[in-house]
């Protein structure tokens, strides 16, 4: 999977036709094989751009920062990234007319060991669901499969699960890299950071990490697209996907097999009411 | 004071470590979720004093934890009562194994600020009661540049005891402070005092180590050039892909900013001191709502300038030890080495 040439051509064309102000893509780190996101503002820099199976980061994340606000943006999206973009559009965070979306028919990206990443193996939609131009041959939607780690966790007793997560939250340093790397955590002021109303404890204790991360994962329930930006960003390497995949599983099972951002203008599991929604948990 | 060098072999080093672990409260790098944290250990088998550099977190949390209790308070209609929190878990006598050179230097840098002006007594106590034993750094990792900064890595004077590889599988243990000298003397069972060739062998090993660095720079040139770059346009360009999290500061062995917050229940509460970072948008938010650093590049500029200009001016040290932890942990791998070099080499306006 190498679309370097095509992406450079597209970005070059968009700049020379004056259709965009910023192009968001990937470039080499300069010191190893890995790639980092890059925001390009002018035609002469387009030869930095590349796209291979190491283009991991979800670029929709950059649509929430001041560098792209109210600008015409071109960006590259894989399947999962495009689902996040879809949700940002639905939730009125970006304007479609300001975007030029280069969709990728993704064949999966690699993790740090060089193997295909776990979320790509389980991916339900590798092709971009929203695009102005598509690169590669789409392979179509795949069957939803339950995450193996979540299944294993479900097999444990409540006490065992509690012990496991206590260890996880104890290792959290509350740097908020997970939140800042998530395209769907776009709130101008996160509830976790409120200092006037003390909703959340300011201290970096285990209990505050528990509180913050659980709230965060619930705010993303039915919205998480499993791009794993959060998990890759975590300096403590915490298994954050367990929280999101568990939510995804519950929502998939209970709300008409809902998966976030698959179709345009999809309102999401928690935003719409349906008569067939389960109510057996209500006393 | 004459500092002694002892000689041993890998098996001897193992039993030296084992003896320490059984006799003292010992902290060492323990693997947790694929990275190494400094945690209290009961057996050598559960830790790795020679943990790989890129995967090892800083030793800073043992002296400046991510969250520490400062005091307790009780506020009633009769008045306010303040009391000390009991039992600082990090205040007791302890030994830390497997500390990286950069990390130990980081503690010297922290000493400058925490023992200056107002002395942080908790920090001071933790430092006094700790014996630092070094790891063996044989090869620089991708992001290491400790030899490029204002610290003589060869001297290893930030440690109490330095563990250094010699030739032919020999290992030298060398006291670097008085505290270390006493400690080694007490725990020297099975170690022999080294002969004359030790110094020469260690020098050779160090040269090999120093030659393995990919990143090299001249810190004094950077210090000098960055002084006039406050308004450099490069700053506006560099952090475009920064996601504004606090990771770089929290994993940094030298970043020392903290915030104070209360955990309160009715009239009683506990006051906490926790990590904070200049990359956080709320870091400079003032009462009344003004924020002098509302945009990313200004926060980045503060970070870079504090590390290589302001701290240098005040304490004659760089607030960077070249460990590369920020680059490794950064979600988008922004390299402080690259940033300061780009700023320093930018055209003066």
Per-residue DSSP letter, B240? G
Cβ contact A236–B35 (<8 Å)? yes
Which residues on chain A are in Cβ contact (under 8 Å) with B33?
A: 168, 171, 236-239
pLDDT at A235: 94
Per-residue pLDDT of chain A (283 residues), as tens digits, is: 899 999 999 999 999 999 999 999 999 988 788 899 999 999 999 999 999 999 999 999 999 988 888 899 999 999 999 999 999 999 999 999 999 999 999 999 998 888 999 999 999 999 999 999 999 999 999 999 989 999 999 999 999 999 999 999 999 999 999 999 999 999 988 888 876 666 787 788 888 899 999 999 999 998 999 999 999 999 999 999 999 999 999 999 888 888 998 988 777 777 778 787 887 777 6
The tokens describing B177, both together, are 């402070």
Which ipTM did the prediction report?
0.90
- Residue B1 has a pLDDT of 62
Minimal Cβ distance to B333: which of A36, A208, A238: A36
Residue B94: pLDDT band (50, 70, 90) is very high
Question: Residue A55 has what pLDDT?
Answer: 93
Whether the predicted pLDDT of B188 surpasses 70? yes
**Mean pLDDT of the B1-24 span:** 90
Domain ranges of chain B: 5-210, 219-345
pLDDT digits (tens, 9 = 90+) for B323-332: 999 999 999 9
Tens digits of residue pLDDT in B126-168: 999 999 999 988 889 999 999 999 888 888 889 999 999 888 8
Distance in Å, alpha carbon of A204 to nearest chain B alpha carbon: 5
Minimum-distance CB partner of A61 among B33, B142, B243:
B243
Could you tell me if A228 lies within 8 Å of chain B, comparing CB atoms? no
Q: What is the pLDDT of residue A205?
A: 87
How many CA atoms does the CB half-sphere of B169 hold within 13 Å?
4
pLDDT at residue B223 is higher than 80: yes
**Least confident span in A37-41, B3-7, B196-200:** B196-200
Joined tokens for residue A138: 């789409």
B100-133 pLDDT, tens digit per residue, is: 999 999 999 999 999 998 999 899 999 999 999 9
Helix A206-219 vs helix A241-254: angle between axes, to the nearest 10 degrees? 40
A69 touching B (Cβ < 8 Å): no
Whether chain B has a CB inside 8 Å of the CB on A190: the answer is no
pLDDT of residue B137: 87
Nearest to A237 among B33, B245, B334 (CB): B33
Distances in Å between the Cα of B115 and the Cα atoms of A32, B118, B120, B255, B260 are 39, 7, 6, 15, 19
* The pLDDT of residue B346: 81
pLDDT score, position B166: 85
Which residue of chain B is at minimal alpha-carbon distance from A235?
B329
Edge-to-edge, what's the strand order for the sheet holding B130-134?
Answer: B35-41, B26-32, B94-99, B130-134, B161-165, B171-175, B5-8, B192-193
Say how far apart CA A168 and CA A237 lie, in whole Å: 9
Q: Which residue in the block uniquely carries the two structure tokens 């680059």?
A: B327
As given in the structure block, the two tokens for residue A87 are 């949700």
* CA A235 – CA B251 distance, rounded (Å): 8
Residue B168 pLDDT: 83
By DSSP bridging, strand A99-104 and strand A133-135 are parallel
Every domain of chain A and the residues it spans: 4-135, 148-254
Among candidates B246, B264, B272 on the partner chain, residue whose Cβ is nearest the Cβ of A175:
B246
What's the mean pLDDT in B304-316?
Answer: 94
The answer to whether A173 faces chain B, any CB pair under 8 Å, is: yes
CA gap A161, B347 in Å, rounded: 57
Token readout for B211 is: 């030659």
pLDDT mean over B13-35: 94
**pLDDT grade for B348, boundaries at 50, 70 and 90:** low
Q: Cα–Cα distance between A60 and A89 in angstroms, integer?
A: 11
> Tell me, what's the pLDDT at B290?
93
User: What secondary structure letter does DSSP report for B316?
Assistant: S
Q: How many helices (H) and strands (E) does chain A have?
A: 9, 5
- Phi, psi of B311, deg, nearest 5: -65, -40
Distant-in-sequence, close-in-space partners of A192: CB < 8 Å, separation ≥ 6: A176, A179, A199, A200, A212, A215, A216
Round to whole Å and give the CA distance between A241 and A120.
Answer: 13
Q: How far apart are the first and last CA of chain A?
A: 52
Confidence of residue B187 (pLDDT cuts 50, 70, 90): confident
Cα B253 to Cα B336: distance, rounded to the nearest angstrom: 14
Q: For strands B171-175 and B5-8, give the pairing.
A: antiparallel
Whole-number CA gyration radius for chain A:
19
Residue of chain A whose Cα is closest to the Cα of B270 = A203
* Dist CA B130 CA A241 (whole Å): 38
Contact A282, A254 (CB under 8 A): no
Rounded Cα distance, B293 and B296, in Å: 8
Phi, psi of A100 (to 5 degrees): -120, 110
Please report, for residues B13, B27, B90, B130, B173, the alpha-carbon distance to residue B180 in angstroms, rounded to integers and kept in the order given: 16, 16, 19, 10, 10
Contact (CB<8Å) A171/B33: yes
3-class DSSP assignment, residue A221 = coil
Report whether A235 contacts B329 (CB < 8 A): yes
Judged against a pLDDT cut of 60, whether residue B349 lies above it is answered with no
Yes or no: say if A4 and A54 are a contact pair by the CB < 8 Å rule.
no
B245 and A34 in contact by Cβ < 8 A? no
């Amino acid at each position: 999977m190498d679309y370097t040439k095509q992406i450079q051509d597209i970005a070059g064309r968009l700049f020379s036709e004056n259709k965009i102000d910023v192009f968001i893509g990937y470039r080499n780190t300069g010191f190893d094989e890995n790639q980092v996101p890059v925001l390009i503002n002018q035609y002469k820099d387009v030869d930095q751009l590349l796209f291979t199976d190491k283009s991991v980061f979800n670029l929709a994340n950059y649509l929430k920062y001041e560098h792209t606000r109210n600008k015409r943006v071109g960006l590259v999206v894989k399947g999962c990234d495009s689902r996040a973009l879809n949700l940002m559009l639905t939730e009125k965070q970006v304007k479609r007319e300001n975007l030029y979306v280069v969709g990728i028919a993704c064949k999966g990206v690699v993790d740090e060991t060089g193997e295909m990443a776990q979320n790509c193996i389980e991916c339900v939609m590798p092709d971009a669901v929203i695009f102005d131009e598509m690169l590669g041959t789409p392979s179509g939607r795949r069957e939803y499969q339950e995450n193996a780690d979540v299944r294993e966790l479900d097999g444990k007793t409540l006490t065992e699960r509690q012990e496991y997560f206590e260890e996880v939250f104890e290792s959290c340093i509350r740097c908020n890299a997970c939140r800042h790397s998530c395209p769907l955590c776009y709130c101008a002021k996160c509830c976790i950071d409120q200092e006037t109303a003390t909703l959340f404890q300011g201290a970096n204790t285990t209990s505050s990490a528990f509180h913050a991360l659980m709230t965060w994962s619930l705010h993303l329930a039915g919205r998480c697209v499993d791009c794993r930006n959060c998990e890759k960003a975590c300096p403590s390497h915490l298994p954050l996907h367990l929280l999101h995949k568990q939510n995804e599983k519950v929502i998939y099972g209970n709300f008409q097999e809902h998966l976030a951002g698959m179709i345009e203008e999809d309102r999401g599991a928690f935003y719409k009411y349906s008569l067939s929604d389960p109510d057996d948990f209500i006393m | 004071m004459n500092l002694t060098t002892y000689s041993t072999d890998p098996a001897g080093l193992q039993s030296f470590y084992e003896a320490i672990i059984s006799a003292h409260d010992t902290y060492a790098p323990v693997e947790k979720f694929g990275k190494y944290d400094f945690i209290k250990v009961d057996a050598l088998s559960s830790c790795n004093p020679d943990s790989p550099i890129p995967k090892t977190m800083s030793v800073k949390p043992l002296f400046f934890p991510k969250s520490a209790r400062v005091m307790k308070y009780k506020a009633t209609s009769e008045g306010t009562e303040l009391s000390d929190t009991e039992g600082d878990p990090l205040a007791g006598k302890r030994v830390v194994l497997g500390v990286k050179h950069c990390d130990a230097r980081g503690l010297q840098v922290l000493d400058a600020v925490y023992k200056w002006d107002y002395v942080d007594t908790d920090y001071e106590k933790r430092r006094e009661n700790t014996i630092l034993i070094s790891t063996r750094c044989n090869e620089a990792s991708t992001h290491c540049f400790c030899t490029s900064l204002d610290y003589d890595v060869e001297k290893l004077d930030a440690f109490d005891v330095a563990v250094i590889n010699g030739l032919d599988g020999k290992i030298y243990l060398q006291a670097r402070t008085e505290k270390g000298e006493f400690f080694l003397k007490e725990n020297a069972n099975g170690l022999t005092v080294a002969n004359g060739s030790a110094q020469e062998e260690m020098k050779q090993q160090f040269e090999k180590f120093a030659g393995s660095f990919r990143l090299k720079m001249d810190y004094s040139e950077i210090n000098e050039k960055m002084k006039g770059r406050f308004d450099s346009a490069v700053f506006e360009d560099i952090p475009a892909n920064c996601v504004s999290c606090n990771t770089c500061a929290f994993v940094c062995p030298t970043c020392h900013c903290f915030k104070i917050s209360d955990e309160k229940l009715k009239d009683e509460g506990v006051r906490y001191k926790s990590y904070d970072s200049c990359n956080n948008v709320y870091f400079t938010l003032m009462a009344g709502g003004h924020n002098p650093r509302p945009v990313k590049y200004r926060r980045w500029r503060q970070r870079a300038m504090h590390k290589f200009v302001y701290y240098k001016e005040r304490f004659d040290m760089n607030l960077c030890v070249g460990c590369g932890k920020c680059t490794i942990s950064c979600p988008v791998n922004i390299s402080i080495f690259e940033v300061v070099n780009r700023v320093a080499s930018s055209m003066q306006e």
